[in-house]
Structure 1
Amino acid sequence: MTSVHRALLLVSASSVLVPVVGLVTAPVLANVLGAAGRGQSAAAAAPLLVLSAAGSLGLPQAVTYYVAQGRRLSSSVVAAVVGITVVIGVASTVGIAAARGYLSDADPLLADLIVVGGVFVTPALLVGLLRGRAAGLQRWNEVAAEKALTTLVRAVTIVGLAATGGLDLLTAVLAVCLSPVIGGMTYLPGLRPSARRRASVSVPIHAPPARLGGLLRFGSSVWMGSVATMLMARINEIFLIPLSDATQLGLLVVAVTISDIPWIVTQALRDVLFGASSRTMDSKVLTQASRICSAGAALLCVGVAVTLPWWLVPVFGGDFARALWPTNLLLLGACAAVPGLIAGAALEASGRPHVRSLTLVASLVLDGALVFALVPEFGAVGAAAAVVVATLFASVVSVVLAGRELGVPASRFVGLTRADVRLLGAAPATVRRAVNTRRKEQHIS
């Protein structure tokens, strides 16, 4: 089994924690805060999550791309990238504060919470740069550790506050916003001089150094797609209160929590494939990953949809009975998104990020039009329907374009083969070997 396969298995194993723990914390938040309160807490964090993507300028992906190719980043380039990131982060916080009145629908408490979330934009952007560097160096253990730590810190904080009676809107927002910063600390040991020397041996030394202009050009091409992806995921949380009400947003947040499992895991695998393919393009690995992830997502979504009527209300409370249909629609959208995410990684790693970005921008326009058309009348159901249509469009176009770029039929991105089944059978042993190898490396260092 290749190193790429091992990285995929390791990162997928850690990424599963995100939705699984989400299913533990979501009922806690729902029962303590109620439907309206859950909607308000989501609305408070939504601008941070959107601007964490919008403010990155695609620089984390650019760092991944150039580092994976062995392009050295000089101290001046690093300083410029960090400086640009900090300036954008501060400006984003100021912008969030200025827009708090509209985003909160003139609710003073929600307006203050939105500002609290906005303070964390700069730290989130800096963590993104560190993640991009680790991905470029193929340090997937660090990426997996960040995801695991972020998820566990959030879960322990929320459950602990609920158990002690300290969970309210403010502490819920702080738990969501602060945990990624704590998770990002897993990258700090990799910045030590000894760690940098070990990393420099594993990358090619013949490649010319990276220039700031090149980073910005690549990043700007990726940036459009990153912004569009995040807006498609969060546009409903931003505009549902102005277009409908906080209760409908609370229903949608629960639906998103349940349906996010395949999307979160696939997004993590997509990042691995982008980092690995930026170094060596392998159409066989890309299409195989798409087939396996698509089949797994479909199986998982069908299982959730079939059993959902029996556990939705007992787990989340009677206020969320109406989340059934939005959840089923979003499960359908999650399945549709999987092959498109993998195909997008192929387009970006082949040096054509603008193609993927234009596809996502078109999908965002479609999503936004449907949100404003459907949400006032249908609330959370309308928002979920908009996501499904836009996601299906983006996925189909991305798969067709990636197939042309790789010189393979688009059908290769879906449908399991015998080789895929054999690979899945070897997965548990591979994960154990990867974990044991990491422990030995930590012991030696």
Structure 2
Amino acid sequence: MTRTGRDVLVTVLGNGVAPLAALGTAPVLATSLEVTGRGATAAATAPLLLATALTSLGLPAAVTHVVARGSVTARRALATATPVAVVIGLLAAAVVGLVRNDLAGSDRQLGDLIGLTSLTLVPNLAAALLQAAAAGLRAWTLVALERTVTHGGRFVVIAALAWTDALTVPAAVLTIALSPALGALVYVRLLGRCPRSRAGGGRGGTTGVLLSYGVRVWLGSLAGTVLVRLDQTLLTPLAGTAALGIYAVAVSVSDLPTVVSNAVREVTFSSQSADNDPTSLGRVARVTTCATLLTCAALAAVLPFAVPALFGIDFSDAVPVAAVLLIGIAGSTPGSIAGVGLAAAGRPGLRSLSLGGAAVSSVVTLLVLAPGSGAMGAAVATVVGNAVSSLGNLVALRWTTDVPIRSLFGLRRGDLVSVRISTTRTRRKAP
């Protein structure tokens, strides 16, 4: 197995912890808190997750890109990006605190929880930067360990609280909000092993490099966040916490097939940034699409039985919602890999344009459908956004690179033989 194949395998294992932990946690939350309490938990944490992504300013992607290319050391990149993230995080936390009651749909207790979770925004941003540096250094074992601690620790605490009849909405919200800070402690080892100098430039040069890439990717980060997070943030005022409870369960179930594709995207971005290879990018897209399709089909077949058994009969309405989300995931995989290719090739602005169009179409669809259709309206909005983003990435990749669109579709005989999913020939050792 090649170095990249091992990286993908380790990252798949690390990524697998999150949905498996979510799958284990979701029934505990559903049975202990019921539909309304589950919806309140999602409503209290959704603004934090949204703000974390919105205020990153593209810095995590920039850190991964420049570290993988070897133009900036990981230590210097973190020293430059972290103060910016702290200032922006504090400002964003203040904004969330001011609008917390509006986000809570006039529920004062829920508003207080939203304000409380906003205080963990800065640690979450710092954790994202540390993970980005590890990805740039291809320290995928360390990343997998951090995800195990973050998501596994969250599951253990919530399960223990439920076992002792101490699980309440505030306890669940605080556990979810604080778990990234716990996982980030794993990266203390990374800081100790980072070289102090490698490729040139002073602090000013490092800032310019990071901001140049980060500004171009920022719009895409905002738009991507809208696609992933805004629906759960707006669903409470549009349709109520019960609808959000159904939707949260559907999302947690439908996220399972993304384990492999997310792992491939992360490894591909790092390794393609170091050594752009159009041939391997096409192979990655074809193999990943096939694996995602098979996983989505298998999961859709068991949804009608698994959801009521795991979450209770009250969550049966999540079955068709999850099925719609699975359709969107399966159909958007080639375009998602194409977006990674654009970003790794130094064209994140084009990927951002695709995501911007997707965000607009998703929000419009959500505002139109959610008030009357609830969770299903949010699912349809997500699928529409994914389709627009995928198509935009494919067209942009074809116009700006030597990668033909057809190379990203249709499994080939050679793909079945070459399970290594080789995205680069880079042999640089991980720290």
Q: TM-score, normalised by structure 1?
A: 0.90
CA distance in 2, matches of 1:419, 1:43: 47
User: Structure 2 residue aligned with 1:346, among 341, 355, 373?
Assistant: 341
Distance in 2, matches of 1:264 and 1:98, equals 36
- Give the drift of 1:2: 3.0
Counterpart check, 1:260 vs 2:272 = no
Task: Give 1:330 deviation, angstroms.
Answer: 0.5
| Residue 77 to residue 267, structure 1, CA distance change in 2 (3 Å) | closer
Using the alignment, how far apart are the partners of 1:409 and 1:415 within structure 2?
A: 13
Alignment of 1:247 onto 2:242 = yes
Secondary structure at the counterpart of residue 256 of structure 2:
helix
> Quick one: which amino acid aligns to residue 170 of structure 2?
L
Equivalent residue, structure 2, for 1:278: 273
Q: Give the aligned partner of residue 350 of structure 2.
A: 355
Write out per-residue CA displacement over residues 341-382 of structure 1, whole angstroms, 9 at most, x where no aligned residue: 211111011111000011101100000000000011111111
Give the 3 Å change call, closer, same or farther, for CA 181–206 of structure 1 in structure 2.
closer
Q: 2:157 is paired with a residue of what secondary structure?
A: helix
Matched-pair contact (CA < 8 Å) for 1:399–1:413 = no
In the alignment, residue 385 of structure 1 is paired with which amino acid? V
Q: How far does residue 207 in structure 1 lie from its aligned partner after superposition?
A: 5.8
Q: Secondary structure at the match of 1:120?
A: helix
Q: Which of 358, 365, 370 is equivalent to 2:365?
A: 370
1:386-397 correspondence runs (5 A): 386-397=381-392
- For 2:124, the equivalent position in structure 1 comes to 124
2:306 is matched with which residue: 307, 311, 315? Answer: 311
* Structure 1 position 165 matched with structure 2 position 165: yes
Give the Å deviation of 1:80.
4.1
Amino acid at match of 2:327: L
Q: 1:174 to 1:74 in 2, by over 3 A?
A: closer
Matched to 2:229, the amino acid is R
Percent identity (aligned): 36
Letter of the 2:46 counterpart: A
- Residues matched between the structures, number: 422
Q: Distance in 2 between the 1:2 and 1:372 partners? A: 47
Give the counterpart letter for 1:340 in structure 2: G
Match of residue 284, structure 2, among 283, 286, 289: 289
2:182 aligns with 182
The residue aligned with 2:376 is: 381
CA distance in 2 between counterparts of 1:206 and 1:184 reads 26
Residue identity matched to 2:349:
H
Q: Single out whichever of 359-368 and 401-410 deviates more from structure 2.
A: 401-410
- Kept in 2, the 8 Å contact 1:270–1:342? The answer is yes
2:397 paired residue among 399, 402, 411: 402
Tell me the CA shift for residue 172 of structure 1.
0.7
> Runs ≥4 in structure 1, deviation > 6 angstroms?
74-77
After superposition, residues 100-249 of structure 1 pair within 5 angstroms as 100-192=100-192, 195-197=193-195, 210-249=205-244
Amino acid at match of 1:91: L
Contact 1:240 1:246 in 2 (8 A): yes
Superposition pairs of residues 316-335 of structure 1, within 5 angstroms: 316-335=311-330
Gaps of at least 5 residues in structure 1 are 428-436
Instruction: For 1:72 and 1:397, locate their aligned partners in 2 and report how far apart those are by CA, in whole Å.
Output: 31
| Residues in 2 aligned to 1:153 and 1:58: alpha-carbon distance in whole angstroms | 27
Post-superposition offset of 1:167: 0.9
Shift in Å at residue 91 of structure 1? 0.8
CA displacement 1:230-252 (0-9 Å, x = unmatched): 21111111111111111111110
Q: Residues 76 and 410 of structure 1: is their aligned pair in 2 closer, same or farther, counting only changes over 3 Å?
A: closer
What one-letter code is carried by the residue in structure 2 that aligns with 1:165? D
Distance 2:25 2:76 in 1: 43
